[in-house]
Amino acid sequence: MKRFTHDGFDLAFLDRGAGDPVLLIHGFASTHHVNWVAPGWVKTLNDAGYRAVAIDNRGHGASTKSYEPSDYAPARMAGDAAALLRHLGIARAHVMGYSMGARISAFLALEEPAMVATLVFGGLGSGMVDGVGDWSPIADALLAEDPATVTDPRGRAFRAFADQTRSDRRALAACIATSRQELTEAEMHRIYQPTLVAVGTRDDIGGSPETLAAMMPNAEAFAIEGRDHMLAVGDRTFKARVLDFLASHPL
């Protein structure tokens, strides 16, 4: 892991391979390794001739933790992503985010449009605009002293995931308070870059990929068949579709 500093945070990242750069932004409670290395994305991209750059978002993985919710506004995390590209001397890149990372990617496209060549929103469709349900049980689950006391199904799933990734649960509880900021349909319409919106057909969190793609001027939807929010990440059909999409839009 390499590191750089931005906005008072020491941020860890991976930079592997050569070719057109693809910036990878992971989801909530995940890390660059869990989201992109372990499921084979970095290898897949490298083997296809792309340079994979993956950040550990603030509050996650090997990056600095904060317990202040305002630190996790999506625009601020998008600022970290832009700062990483500048740190590496990358003027323009493909950008791919999963779940929370997709939301950060959208904010990056709005704040720094010249840096974003294309977008892949994984695991987040219409939830980008209309929300992804009540996540207060997840914050409660993250802060529970005893995981056995957690009864909410979604809370149990994310608590188990946070424990599996050895995350700082207090930092994640702060993150979840502000990182789910919704965008408007008008803002989505301003994102002009070619975009692929991909969500699992069994995903009960992300919302409809078709609905979100219809709000955008240059977007297409892809259904990851038979996959839920957690299992869609490493799906082979998802990888193949992304490679086709990137090949259709070279830098």
- In tens, the pLDDT along 56-88 reads 999 999 999 999 999 999 999 999 999 999 999
Instruction: Please state whether the predicted TM-score (pTM) of the whole model is above 0.85.
Output: yes
Establish if 35 belongs to a structural domain: yes
Strands 50-55 and 9-16: antiparallel
Residue 1 parent element (H or E): none
pLDDT bin (cut points 50, 70, 90) of residue 165 is confident
Establish if 85 belongs to a structural domain: yes
- What average pLDDT score do residues 113-140 get? 92
Establish if 162 belongs to a structural domain: no
Establish if 204 belongs to a structural domain: yes
Residue 72 domain boundaries? 2-131+181-248
pLDDT bin (cut points 50, 70, 90) of residue 37 is very high
Find the Cα–Cα–Cα–Cα dihedral 71, 75, 79, 82, rounded to 10°: 150
Selection from 79, 33, 24, 81 nearest residue 54 by Cα: 24
The percentage of residues in the chain with a pLDDT greater than 70, rounded to a whole number, is 100
- What average pLDDT score do residues 4-11 get? 98
Establish if 15 belongs to a structural domain: yes
Give me the number of domains the chain comprises: 1
The amino acid at residue 112 is E
- What is the rounded CA–CA span in Å between residue 187 and residue 153? 32
Selection from 76, 49, 64 nearest residue 13 by Cα: 64
Instruction: Report the CATH number that the domain containing residue 185 is assigned in CATH.
Output: 3.40.50.1820
Establish if 161 belongs to a structural domain: no
Residue 229 parent element (H or E): none
With a cut of 90, say whether residue 209 has pLDDT above it. yes
